[in-house]
Structure 1
Amino acid sequence: MVHSMTAFARVEQNGVYGTLSWELRSVNHRYLEPHLRLPDNLREVEGPVREALRNGLSRGKVECTLRLTESSSESALQVDHARAQQLIHAAEQIAQQIKQPAALNPLEVLAWPGVLSTQSVDSQELNSAAATLFSQALQQLKESRGREGADLARLISERLDAIQNETNVLRELVPEMLEVQRQKILTRCQELQVEIDPQRLEQELVLLAQKSDVAEELDRLTTHISEVHRVLKTGGAIGRRLDFLMQELNREANTLGSKAIDPRSTQAAVNIKVLIEQMREQVQNIE
């Protein structure tokens, strides 16, 4: 399956610790280049996240952002009522020994060590939840890259078919174009009233045919087209291979243009180069 390097994924999960969310964005890049943004208390997941990226992706610049919104519910605060009662009782006993005691402040009672505590979250549980959630986000990202990759493969295949059609038409036109050039030379000679040795004329026409022979270029174009189709069916990390094949296709198209002896062959070469450039732009996004 063909995968694009451009995709986005976002997953979210609620728990006793609050809300965890991952956002993953990937764009095309020559190599795999992860960028992680993690809360300080979740730095332990960096290693597993990088390992998962190496195992799951081959290329692309991937930005991974983890956010933790801590729970603000009342259950997050725990009051030790027994300890608070002991503190109040002790304060009342002391107050009886004071002539004008100050009123007992509830906030001072809560501030006493051990009376009020925050519900602690197991850091191992939190890190495990973040790592598990990342696996879901990565899977979503890979599926998105796969869908876009399938679209890119379809677009490239359509352009390959268009190039093949151009080569087929041009192959059929080559004999006709050579005959047209032969007639042009003969007509020009008649207009100039120049007598040419028939044998010499045939030699020149043979040389012209050799210089303008594009059969080899057309064959190589067909071979490269078949190879691109094969690579697309193979799938996996094929971006670099496809980029190389685009260069080879473009080389043959340039040679084809340099040998053009007819406006039709020139136009065919131009059309092929345009199609190759369109494919090359799409290939840049393939993993």
Structure 2
Amino acid sequence: MVLSSMTGFARSHGASGPYTFEWELKSVNAKGLDVRLRLPPGWDELESFAKKRAGEVLSRGTVYANFNVKRTNALSTIRINEDVLASVVRVAGVLAGKIDAVAPSIDGLLSIKGVIEVVEPESDETEDKAAKDAASSAFDQALTQLVEMRQREGTALGQILLQRMDEIEQLAKKAETAPGRKPDAVKARLAEQIAMLLETSDRFDPDRLSQEALLIAAKADIREELDRIASHVAQAREMIAKGGPVGRRLDFLAQEFNREVNTCCSKSNDIELTNTGLEMKNVVEQFREQVQNLE
């Protein structure tokens, strides 16, 4: 399986009998799958079909589906509602005997709401059914194009995510080999700090200070965090290679990356190691932002 982005766009056209139509699909990021359709009156039955088909091939994303249809070679006709017109004329006659007013003109009568009706051409049940079947097929075409576009973007995102993993791995190795992590360097810093404390007071117990120094050195070690970061890198690469809807899992992994890097920074007592941790934190944030686009 390949990775898939949640963003994409597709359009398809079709025709059947007197109808011509167009589907326009657009998808954006979302926590789950939400299909929102805009259908003209009389085409509502396409909604259940479209949502079912989208659910079969998509896992996440908000999909906006707009359907436009036109009916050719069938003209609307104008009809005068005789009953409404007769009522209007009758009322006009009654008022004419009570008030001094100009008799109503033809264009004035026709402008009254309800006097003129626009009659749509009668539909043919067989033609309508054929058109809806054709519209369903056109939706499938647009949906296929949308999936293909999302997969192309997902493949590109996968390459970017693998680059971020390479960067994190390189920074983790840099942190592991930082001069400040070497035992001699740690010992020298602790000895210097202890010496400064002993100079300020003679009430310190040297043996107790040595024990505290060992405890501080153990707490400052980031070996465990580096091992977990290496494990997360391996998991991320495996998920990206496997593909499919792994966006949520990678998002969780990004949170784990962030937790380990923060711990490395908090334990650091060396400026070079701190800077390396901050670089890694920046890469992890870039990884997390890109993962938000994956299905």
In 1, Cα distance between equivalents of 2:187 and 2:144 = 63
Deviations 1:45-83 (A, max 9, x none): 1121111011010111000001012224xxx57xxxxxx
Tell me what 1:161 maps to.
Answer: 166
Deviations 1:232-264 (A, max 9, x none): 112111111111111111111111111001011
Tell me what 1:126 maps to.
Answer: 131
Tell me what 1:112 maps to.
Answer: none
Paired amino acid for 2:36:
H
Taking a change above 3 Å as real, the CA distance of residues 42 and 193 of structure 1, as seen in their structure-2 partners, is: closer
Q: TM-score, normalised by structure 1?
A: 0.78
1:148 paired to 2:149? no
Task: Return 5+ residue gaps in structure 2 as ranges.
Answer: 76-120
Moved over 4 A (4+): 117-121, 174-178, 187-202
Tell me what 1:170 maps to.
Answer: 175
In 1, Cα distance between equivalents of 2:209 and 2:129 = 89
Taking a change above 3 Å as real, the CA distance of residues 30 and 191 of structure 1, as seen in their structure-2 partners, is: closer
Instruction: Look up the SS of the partner of 1:128 in the other structure.
Output: helix
Instruction: Identify which of 212, 232, 247 aligns with 2:255.
Output: 247
In 1, Cα distance between equivalents of 2:185 and 2:8 = 53
Paired amino acid for 1:167:
A
Instruction: Identify which of 255, 266, 284 aligns with 1:258.
Output: 266
Q: When the two structures are aligned, how many residues end up with a matched partner?
A: 245
Tell me what 2:103 maps to.
Answer: none
Deviations 1:188-221 (A, max 9, x none): 6667884998766654442232011100000000
Tell me what 2:277 maps to.
Answer: 269
Deviations 1:106-158 (A, max 9, x none): xxxxxxxxxxx878571110001100000000000000100111111111110
In 1, Cα distance between equivalents of 2:52 and 2:58 = 10
Paired amino acid for 1:132:
S
Q: TM-score, normalised by structure 2?
A: 0.76
1:48 paired to 2:49? yes
Offset at 1:269? 1.3
Instruction: Look up the SS of the partner of 2:44 in the other structure.
Output: helix
Deviations 1:18-54 (A, max 9, x none): 4211000100101101100111122221121111011
Paired amino acid for 2:249:
R
Q: State the percentage of identical aligned residues.
A: 37
Instruction: Identify which of 202, 218, 225 aligns with 1:217.
Output: 225
In 1, Cα distance between equivalents of 2:228 and 2:194 = 36
Paired amino acid for 1:173:
A
In 2, Cα distance between equivalents of 1:251 and 1:162 = 17
1:236 paired to 2:237? no
Offset at 1:15? 4.2
Task: Return 5+ residue gaps in structure 1 as ranges.
Answer: 78-116
Name which of structure 1's ranges 237-246 and 136-145 shifts more when overlaid on structure 2.
237-246
In 2, Cα distance between equivalents of 1:277 and 1:191 = 39
1:280 paired to 2:288? yes
